[in-house]
Chain A
């Protein structure tokens, strides 16, 4: 018999789950010990989220057992799981924006009864906040809280119900480095209080920072479960991708040339007519990558839209090499040599129901040689598509396959093939590697660096600081629509950029909490 301390709270035994032909989880086994922080580490598509959904009752495993608190369980919905003491914080929060924290926490809570006693609930939640050092205004509507604070509400919701096991799905994806630190402090406290935490992530640093043990998932299988104490970044990376991994992109220095994209005093409005981009000035030169860091929602998407021509600018100017392109149409801008990789591949970049070849000519479909006198030249398009599929290593059945059936990495390759198969002056990419695994990401970086040699400039809008530090030459930080600062890559540090991303211009010592 094991002692009480080491007895696993949760045991996953031979769990398998598939969707049609696609196997998402293949005979997964691992244990989570009471009060431990356990990481599920894997690249995108390795099956982490599916596994979490099976544990949380959101989907049903095809076979295998889940043992929780010594009893075999089979949840038919998350409601069952919550009743048993399993909570989950999803990547995308499920909060009601106009309601405040307290209302959001008690909504759906079964013990509330018919008549609300908000006073009582507020007190209880305030106690929880004090216990975990969470300081924020419980009475403010969620829409006025930062992303980090919204995440606290989700966590408080689980604590309020009294969970014994909390699953966190990629909780740091939307946070600044400082917010990540605070989140980890909260998680550690929970673990110290006897709550087990399963942290789903693909970031090695997070695993090493906080977890007790880690299960590495690769291609639907649990490769191994190890104690974090015995692991290094290199050893985990090797397990993660299945081979030795070089962390640095080999960047060949390219001489910086003339400006290819000049943004001067640009202001852009949101749909609701409030200012999203406020007097932004940026210059991208031939042969360099300018990284634009920032937590999403600080004006990046409006800036992107204005640059590619789908959103009117309020004032300021945009020049693409010699051409003034302020408020030109998207077609004109792209014909003048602007390539763009939008953030949302299937929503903004591709037409899911269209075939690969149709997506490859989207935008160029009205230009020769693809089109003459209004009639499409399918033979030329077919030849072009086959060549592009070859050159960009797009994994597809053929040019006729619908793109919605392709994987994320291949979708991005289709977009890239479309955008850079012809000479360009500037490439704007917005979170181009989001959701891609390391191999696909590196493929993209190599393609980007190739463009630099061809005298193009790149504006890389990204939240992923690792990515920016890996390939950018300079990093500018956007916060609340303004550029707060710009560093050469040699002078930039994660801390400096992180503070600017949080909107703090001067460097306070030590880190001041936003509401003190």
Chain B
């Protein structure tokens, strides 16, 4: 029997604590590796890497209008990312942001279509509609939350299933009672102007982005400065000890899902009131699911989520320019995004260890 034993003068060991610097370094390494890999694939595709990357960069941050578009694209995923932060901090696995976003959009639409002659000034109308979005989002998040808290039903399954329920309900409504009369497409009538989100600095950027930033600050404040956030984190990190010390786990679970649902619902409301000005079939290109990735990329921290969502917004926006300047299809950007996520998780794991000389 032959056994080859190679003895290296190093041993691998787990780090006890990962410093902030090291954790940031792992992100930089992940991004660099992903971009290099993407560049490799672009050249395999037979395109000039320089031109393509320049197109993406120019299309996302190259001009004022490009930057504005990037921020617009970042808005809904920033909000769904924040919804995920709230849930994941409590280790309540809400995968239903997509459905809650739909619920939010439909909530605002319901109020508009049910009370068409309100004639409210925008100052009142818009908050009312966004509030309706948050309520319906909270309900759609609250159902799995209640089932989890009361009967310990797996929240992953319920939230995923409810995504389908609300999307089919939306399709039905847009194909029936809510459809614009005489329209061939699945959409409602155009909303009254008093419901349009105001624009900032005479650009296309609507206040939804500002609302999202304020929400990010509020999530930060909730998580680190408030009793409820303390209890949410306690539930996530050790529900047994939290229970022993008098934290009502069921209550925290339900509140977490209501909050998470409300923020995702707000994303839906902001998107249709800010961009489409009507409920339109397919208005979300998976914003809810992207929010989960954003949360992972942003390390479940509100500031990280802000940065990650703008980065994703930029990639999405840049992909249009890339398609114009080269033959690389738009969907290539999805590939880059997937690559970044995998690399992030990979390098995060790698950086947990270090080599030590024996």
List A residues at the B interface (Cβ < 8 Å).
Answer: 19-20, 62, 308-310, 329-332, 334, 340, 342, 347-354, 358, 362-363, 365-366, 371, 374-376, 378, 402, 405
CB distance from A443 to the nearest CB of B (A): 22
Give the residues in chain B near A351, CB-CB below 8 Å. 234, 237-238, 241-242
Q: Which of A310, A332, A352, A354 is within 8 Å of B243, CB to CB?
A: A310
Q: Which listed residue, A62, A347, A366, A405, touches B238 by the CB 8 Å rule?
A: A347
Partner of A376 from B17, B225, B242 at Cβ < 8 Å? B225
Proximity string of chain B (226-247) to chain A, C-beta cutoff 8 Å, 1 when within and 0 when not: 1110110110011011111111
Most A-side CB within 10 Å, residue of B234, B246, B247, B356: B246
Residue in A329, A348, A371, A405 whose beta carbon sits within 8 Å of that of B240 in the complex: A348
Q: In whole Å, how far is A368's beta carbon from the nearest beta carbon of chain B?
A: 11
> Looking across the interface, which residue of chain A has its beta carbon closest to that of B239?
A351
Known contacts A62-B358, A334-B246, A405-B17: A376-B230 contact under CB 8 Å: yes
For A371, the chain B residues whose CB sits under 8 A away are: 227
Is A366 a contact of B240 with CB atoms below 8 Å?
Answer: no
Min C-beta distance of B236 to chain A, whole Å: 8
Collect the chain B residues with CB atoms within 8 Å of residue A342's CB: 244
Provided the pairs A363-B246, A375-B225 are in contact, do residues A347 and B230 lie with their beta carbons within 8 angstroms?
A: no
Expressed in whole angstroms, the Cα–Cα distance for A217 and B207 within the complex equals: 68
In whole Å, how far is B214's beta carbon from the nearest beta carbon of chain A? 17
In the bound complex, residues from chain A placing their C-beta under 8 Å from that of B233 are 354
Quick one: closest B residue to A334, CB to CB?
B246
A85 → chain B closest CB, angstroms: 20
Chain B residues, CB < 8 A from A19: 13
Known: A19-B13, A20-B16. A365 touches B238 (CB 8 A): no
Nearest CB of A to B346, in Å: 23
- Structural contact, A308 and B13, CB atoms closer than 8 A: no
Q: Are B248 and A329 in contact (CB under 8 A)?
A: yes
State the CA gap A74–B230 with chains docked (Å): 49
Whether B237 and A353, one on each chain, are in contact in the complex, defined by CB atoms closer than 8 angstroms, is yes
Mark out the residues of chain B between 231 and 284 whose CB falls within 8 Å of any chain A CB in the assembled complex.
Answer: 231, 233-234, 237-238, 240-248
Interface size, chain B (Cβ < 8 Å): 25
Whether A330 touches B245, Cβ cut-off 8 Å, given contacts A351-B237, A352-B237, A375-B227, is: yes
The CA-CA distance from A342 to B243 in the complex, in Å, is 12
Judge whether A376 and B244 touch: CB under 8 Å. no
- On whether the beta carbons of A376 and B226 are closer than 8 Å, the reply is yes
Enumerate chain B residues within 8 angstroms of A375, measured Cβ to Cβ: 225-227
A353 and B13 form a contact (CB under 8 A): no
Q: Using CB atoms, name the residue of chain B closest to A372.
A: B227
Q: Which residues on A sit within 8 Å (CB–CB) of B238? A: 347, 350-354
30 contacts between A and B (CB under 8 A): A19-B13, A20-B356, A308-B244, A309-B246, A310-B244, A331-B247, A332-B246, A340-B244, A347-B238, A347-B241, A348-B240, A349-B241, A350-B238, A351-B237, A351-B241, A353-B237, A354-B233, A354-B237, A358-B230, A362-B241, A362-B242, A363-B245, A363-B246, A365-B230, A375-B225, A375-B227, A376-B227, A378-B225, A402-B17, A405-B16
Interface set of B (CB-CB < 8 Å, partner A): 13, 15-17, 225-228, 230-231, 233-234, 237-238, 240-248, 356, 358
Task: List 18 additional A-B contacts (Cβ < 8 Å) besides A20-B356, A376-B230.
Answer: A20-B15, A62-B358, A309-B246, A310-B244, A330-B246, A340-B244, A350-B241, A351-B238, A353-B238, A358-B230, A362-B241, A363-B245, A363-B246, A365-B227, A365-B230, A374-B228, A375-B225, A375-B226
Quick one: given A19-B13, A405-B16, are A362 and B245 in contact (CB under 8 Å)? Answer: yes
With the chains together, A62 CA to B7 CA distance in Å? 13
Q: Which residue of the partner chain A has the closest CB to B236?
A: A353
Tally the A-B contacts, defined by beta carbons under 8 Å: 74
* CB contact under 8 A between A330 and B244, given known A351-B234, A365-B230, A374-B227: yes
B34 to chain A, nearest CB (A): 29
A45 to chain B, nearest CB (A): 16
Which B residue's beta carbon lies closest to that of A76? B5
Residues of chain B contacted by A353 (CB below 8 angstroms): 237-238
Which residue of chain A lies nearest to B233 when distances are taken between CB atoms in the complex? A354
Q: How far is the CA of A81 from the CA of B245 in the complex (A)?
A: 45
Q: Chain A's nearest CB lies how many Å from the CB of B91?
A: 11
Complex partner residue of B246 from A331, A350, A376, CB under 8 angstroms:
A331
| Given known A352-B237, A354-B237, contact A330–B225 (CB-CB < 8 A) | no
Report A63 CB to chain B, min CB distance, Å: 8
A330 to B246, CA, bound (A): 5
In the bound complex, CA of A387 to CA of B13 (Å): 36
Tell whether, in the assembled complex, residue A347 and residue B240 are in contact, meaning their CB atoms are under 8 Å apart: yes
User: What A residues does B227 contact at CB under 8 A?
Assistant: 365-366, 371, 374-376
Chain B residues whose CB sits within 8 angstroms of the CB of A352 once the complex forms: 237-238
Q: Which residues of B contact A350 (CB under 8 A)?
A: 238, 241
Check if B243 sits within 8 Å of A330, measured CB to CB: yes
Q: Is the CB of B234 within 8 A of A362?
A: yes
Smallest CB separation, B237 vs chain A (Å): 4
Q: How far is the CA of A349 from the CA of B243 in the complex (A)?
A: 10
* Residues in B neighbouring A340, C-beta threshold 8 A: 244
Q: How far is the CA of A376 from the CA of B222 in the complex (A)?
A: 10
Q: What is the CA–CA distance of A274 and B177 in the complex, to the nearest angstrom?
A: 56
Q: With both chains docked as a complex, state the minimum distance between the C-beta of A360 and any C-beta of chain B, in angstroms.
A: 11
Of chain B, the residue at the smallest CB distance from A344 is B240
CB distance from B7 to the nearest CB of A (A): 11
Closest chain B residue to A358 by CB distance? B230
Complex Cα–Cα for A329 and B250 (A)? 13
Chain A nearest CB, measured from B238 CB (Å): 4
Chain A residues with CB under 8 Å of B246's CB are: 309, 329-332, 334, 363
Chain B residues, CB < 8 A from A331: 246-248
**Bound Cα distance from A349 to B241, whole angstroms:** 5
Residue of A nearest to B15 (CB): A20
Report the bound CA distance from A451 to B358 in whole Å.
50
How far is the CB of B284 from the nearest CB of chain A, in Å? 33
Which residues of chain A are near B230, meaning CB under 8 Å? 358, 365, 376
In the assembled complex, the Cα of A486 lies from the Cα of B241 at a distance in Å of 31
Q: Which residues of B contact A330 (CB under 8 A)?
A: 243-246
Which residue on B lies nearest to A22, using beta carbons? B16
Q: Are A374 and B241 in contact (CB under 8 A)?
A: no
